[in-house]
Amino acid sequence: MSKDAIISVEGVFKEYDQAPILERVNLDVTAGTFCTIVGASGCGKSTFLRMLLSQEHPSRGQILMEGHPLPPEPTPDRGIVFQRYSVFPHLTVAENLVLASEIAAAPFTGRLFGSRRKKALTETEALLDRIGLSHAANRYPAQLSGGMQQRLAIAQALVKKPGILLLDEPFGALDPGIKLDMHELLLGLWDEFGMTVFMVTHDIHEAFKLGTRLLVFDKVRHDPQAPEAYGATITYDLPLSDPEMKSGRLPEEIAETIHVPKTALSSGFQTPNPHEERS
Amino acid sequence: MRLINRKPSRTTALMLGLLPFLILIIVYTIASQARLAENPSDRLLPSLQSMANAMEKMAFEPDRRNGELLLWKDTFASLMRIGAGLGISTLLALVIGLTMGTLPYGKAALAPFVAAFSLIPPITILPILFIILGLGEAAKIGLIVVGTAPVMIRSVAQAALDIPRELIIKAETLGASSWQIATRVIVPSVLPAAIMALRIGLIPAWIFLVSAEAIASTEGLGYRIFLVRRYMAMDIILPYVAWITLLAFIMDYLLRVLSRVAFRWKHLEGDSL
pLDDT band at A268 (very low <50, low <70, confident <90, very high): very low
User: Side chain identity at B46, as an amino acid letter?
Assistant: P
Confidence of residue A278 (pLDDT cuts 50, 70, 90): very low
Strand partners, A215: A37, A237
Residue of B nearest to A154 (CA): B170
State the average pLDDT over residues A41-55.
89
Per-residue pLDDT reduced to its tens digit, A189-221: 999 889 999 999 988 888 888 999 999 988 877
Query: CA-CA distances (angstroms) from residue B115 to A29, A267, B155, B208?
Result: 49, 45, 12, 20
* CB-CB neighbors (< 8 A) of A75 in chain B: 172-173, 175
**Position A275 pLDDT exceeds 60:** no
Distance of CA B173 to the CA centre of its chain: 41
Contact between A257 and A214 (Cβ < 8 Å): no
Phi then psi for A242, rounded to 5 degrees?
-75, 120
Mean pLDDT of successive 10-residue segments in chain B (273 residues)?
92 95 95 92 89 91 86 94 96 95 95 93 90 90 94 94 94 93 94 93 94 90 93 92 95 94 84 63
pLDDT at B92: 95
Residues of chain B in contact with residue A159, where contact means CB-CB under 8 angstroms, are: 174
Name residue A34's beta-bridge partners.
A197
Query: Strands, E, within A31-150: which ranges?
Result: 34-39, 60-65, 68-69, 78-81
Domains of chain A and CATH, by start: 5-77+164-278 (3.40.50.300), 88-161 (no CATH)
pLDDT band at residue A19 under the 50/70/90 scheme: confident
Give A132 to chain B, closest Cα distance, Å: 22
**How distant is the Cα of A78 from the closest Cα of chain B, in angstroms?**
7
Contacts of B62 (CB under 8 A, 6+ apart): B68, B69
Find the length of chain B: 273
CB contact (8 A) between residue A76 and residue B175: yes
Whole-number pLDDT of residue A264: 41
Q: Provide the pLDDT confidence category of residue A3 given band limits of 50, 70 and 90.
A: low
Q: What is residue A277's predicted lDDT score, i.e. its pLDDT?
A: 38
pLDDT at A126: 86
* Domains defined along chain B, listed by start: 48-260 (1.10.3720.10)
Nearest to A160 among B166, B175, B188 (CB): B175
Strand residue runs (E) in A141-257: 164-168, 196-200, 213-219, 232-239
Q: How sure is the predictor about A262, in pLDDT bands with cuts at 50, 70 and 90? A: very low
ipTM: 0.85
Per residue in A69-126, pLDDT (tens digit) is: 999 999 999 999 998 888 999 999 999 999 998 998 888 888 888 888 888 888 888 8
Q: B172 contacts in A (CB within 8 Å)?
A: 73-75
What's the one-letter identity of residue B52? A
User: Other C-beta atoms within 10 Å of A10: how many?
Assistant: 15
pLDDT at A2: 58
User: What's the pLDDT at A257?
Assistant: 67
Residue-level pLDDT at A260: 56
CA distance B70 to B211: 19
pLDDT score at A274: 42
Mutate to test the interface with A, among B162, B163, B167, B170 (most CBs of A within 10 A): B170
Q: Is A192 exposed, middle or buried (0-12, 13-18, 19+ CB in 10 A)?
A: exposed
Interatomic CA distance for residues B45 and A44, integer angstroms = 72
Cβ-nearest to B174 among A53, A76, A85:
A76
Residues 6+ apart with CB under 8 A from A121: A94, A98
| Helix or strand (DSSP H, E) at A87 | none
Taking residues A131-159, report their average pLDDT: 90
Answer whether residue A35 shows pLDDT above 70.
yes
The set of residues, in sequence order, having a beta carbon less than 8 Å from that of A42 and lying 6+ positions away, is none
Cβ within 8 Å, pair B189-A89: yes
Alpha-carbon distance A204 to A269, whole Å? 12
Give the separation between CA A1 and CA B192, rounded to whole angstroms: 50
**Residues of chain A positioned with their CB less than 8 A from the CB of B164:** 84-85
Those residues whose C-beta lies under 8 Å from the C-beta of residue B113, and which sit 6 or more positions away, are none
Rounded distance, CA B218 to CA B163, Å? 46
Report whether pLDDT(A246) > 80.
Answer: no
